[in-house]
Structures are given as C-alpha cells and as structure tokens.
Amino acid sequence: MVETNRRHSPRQNEDATIQLILSAKHASPGRGQSESMPVKMGNHSQEGLYIETRRALEPGSNVRIKMVSPEGEHLENAYFMRDGQVIWCKRVGARRPPRFGVGIKILRKVVQADVLTSRFR
C-alpha cells in the first residue's frame, strides 16, 4: 500500500510551547469569554500545525493560536496570532493524564505587538 502525502507545503518539526485560545463556546465552564491554555506544538507548515494537549478538542471548532515571534525577527514584543480550525483529534498512547494529538488548519495569520518601540516617538 502506497502512502500519499496530501499536504500542499512541507512540515517543519519544531517543539515549542504555544498558547491555544478557545472561544467561550468551547472553554471550560466558568471561564468567561475565552480560555487560554499552553499546548505543545510538534510541527507546523504554512497551512496547519500539530499540537498535543491534555484536553480533547472537537473537530470543526475554531481556535486561536498565539506564537511568540522568533527572536530577532521583530524589534517589538511581537507575536503571531493564527485563527484555525480543528480538523482531527485523537488520543495519544495510554498516558495518564491523557494527551490528545490535534491537527489544526490555519485560516488566517496576523502579526501583533504588545508595545511599539520608541522609533515612533
């Protein structure tokens, strides 16, 4: 059986901790408008990424991903915000507490900065 790669762009393996922001609809009860949680990213491409989390995410749900800008790429305290959609979610191994592998399709990318540098003064 020949395995085919249906990806349009190559994946880059990169272990990093990123922030996943869930809307109020998908957040834990009592969390308010949204919930932010750290997750481990295993790889990414221009079109998607693979993360592992302690919580199952529902396929079809929309998420927001916050990733710190690589050091030296931006002078400001910049970060990338990506809007994405959960495509699949599967339990990873028999670990306790459980871990879930999640495939996310990137829908939109934005670079944001917390503060502007003094060059605009």
Cα(87)–Cα(22) distance, integer angstroms: 15
Per-residue pLDDT, 119: 45
List the Cα angle 44/27/67 in 5-degree steps.
Answer: 30
pLDDT at 30: 57
Q: Can you give the pLDDT at residue 20?
A: 92
The whole-number pLDDT of residue 81 equals: 84
Specify the fold of 15-115: Pnp Oxidase; Chain A (2.30.110)
- Contact assessment for residue 17 and residue 39, using Cβ atoms and an 8 Å cutoff: yes
Q: Which of the residues in the chain have pLDDT under 70?
A: 1-15, 24-33, 69-78, 111-121
Distance in angstroms (rounded) separating the CA atoms of residues 18 and 27: 17
Which residues 6+ apart lie within 8 Å of 75 measured at CB? 117
Task: Tell me the backbone φ, ψ of residue 82, rounded to 5 degrees.
Answer: -125, 130
